[in-house]
Amino acid sequence: MTDWPLWEVFVRSKGGLSHRHVGSVHAPDAGIALRHARDTYTRRMEGVSLWVVPSAQITASDPSDDAAMFDPAADKVYRHPTFYTVPDDVKHI
Amino acid sequence: MASLPPIDLPSNATGAGAFDAPAGVEGNPLFEYLLRLGDDSLVLGQRLSEWCGHAPSVEVDLSLANMALDLIGQATLFLDYAGEVEGKGRDGDSLAFHRDVLDFRCCWLVEQPNGDFARTMARQCLFSTWQHLLFGRLAGSADERIAAIAAKAVKEVAYHRELASEWVIRLGDGTEESRRRMADGLDWTWRFVAELFEMDPLAGFMAEKGIGTDLAAFRADYDAAVRAVIEQATLPPPPDQRPILGGRRGHHSEHLGHLLATMQFLPRTYPDARW
């Protein structure tokens, strides 16, 4: 249905894991969106919990801002914990 | 010219024109009872699968196909068991594909044509609400196999009931057109509800044995649940109509034969086909 709004679907595949974006469905409202998400994305035991979010409610970064948004992180390898060598004498890390 | 052979009347025939009157418990009651359970699921599953590729949206298409598969799965379990109980070497497939229309024991509601999406959902709501209440009770059946099938199926059917009820509410309380269509859909299907609760001798016999259940015992729950959905849909309750009975004894609407023709064509034409 082209006049139904779009909903983004998030599935928790098992307890303890976070919900992961899997796709989207069309539905007239949140209740039916949840049903459609269940019938579309969890019919082969893919999940134990579902979220649906109106796609229109998502604020996305602008691809034309990619350089300013993401490039500065490229040369900050020291932000990774693996950048530091832990001295052998330091225990419990 | 030789005369026709004498008509072999059943000993309990009344001859009073009661063509469709329940005839008592004949044959193998458990087999007959399993046919009722299995055929309801089988025929409604086949009906719903007719929507495949034609539903209002791809998501609804999947919803309907999922329900159809749930129902056909239930039918397989009930009819396989029926075949074992019968003991003539038939399994669920042979009962589904090599039985003629008069030997089907489904209710009239499930064999009715889909109509539009609203009528399909009206039918589903009326049937799944009943089936949910029924399977909830059959999960405690004295027959362990029926109890196990019902316990598995009751969860599937709970979802069918919720989904169909939500659609009845949304279409009833929707646009002018969806409201008209849902009112028509309920009006069309309403006359088949009484049959769901018919306690004929076989149903009574199975209930006494603790294998089946007294259908009248959850009639009030059913009426209240359906009334609540219709109220939420802001629709007036459909007026009572003359009930139509007979499916449990093999007297069906003209629609069932057409459905079976489609469903049974392939296995009957190519008996050894495998896929």
pLDDT tens, position by position, B66-118: 999 999 999 999 999 999 999 999 999 999 999 999 999 999 999 999 999 99
Tell me, yes or no, whether B20 lies in a domain: no
Tell me, yes or no, whether B1 lies in a domain: no
Give Cβ neighbours of residue A92 (< 8 Å, ≥ 6 apart): none
Q: How confident is the model at residue B2 (pLDDT cuts 50, 70, 90)?
A: low
Cross-chain residue pair B166–A27, CB shorter than 8 Å: no
Q: Can you give the CATH number for the domain in which B108 is found?
A: 1.20.1260.10
Give Cβ neighbours of residue B126 (< 8 Å, ≥ 6 apart): B109, B186, B189, B190, B192, B193, B196, B226
Tell me, yes or no, whether B180 lies in a domain: yes
Query: Closest-CA residue in chain A for B174?
Result: A28
* A22 in contact with B, Cβ within 8 Å: no
Tell me, yes or no, whether B95 lies in a domain: yes
Tell me, yes or no, whether B9 lies in a domain: no
Chain A: give the shortest CA distance to residue B150, in Å.
20
How many CB atoms lie under 10 A from the CB of residue A93? 7
In chain B, the number of structural domains is: 1
Tell me, yes or no, whether B47 lies in a domain: yes
Alpha helix positions (H), chain A: 30-41, 66-70
Tell me, yes or no, whether B8 lies in a domain: no
Convert the pLDDT of each residue in B115-140 to its tens digit. 999 999 999 999 999 999 999 999 99
CA distance linking residue B251 with residue B264, whole number of Å: 19
Q: How confident is the model at residue B9 (pLDDT cuts 50, 70, 90)?
A: low
CB B133 within 8 A of CB B221: yes
Tell me, yes or no, whether B17 lies in a domain: no
Whole-model pTM: value is: 0.87
Which pLDDT does position A77 carry in this prediction?
Answer: 86
Chain B: give the shortest CA distance to residue A82, in Å.
45
Q: Domain limits at B210?
A: 29-269
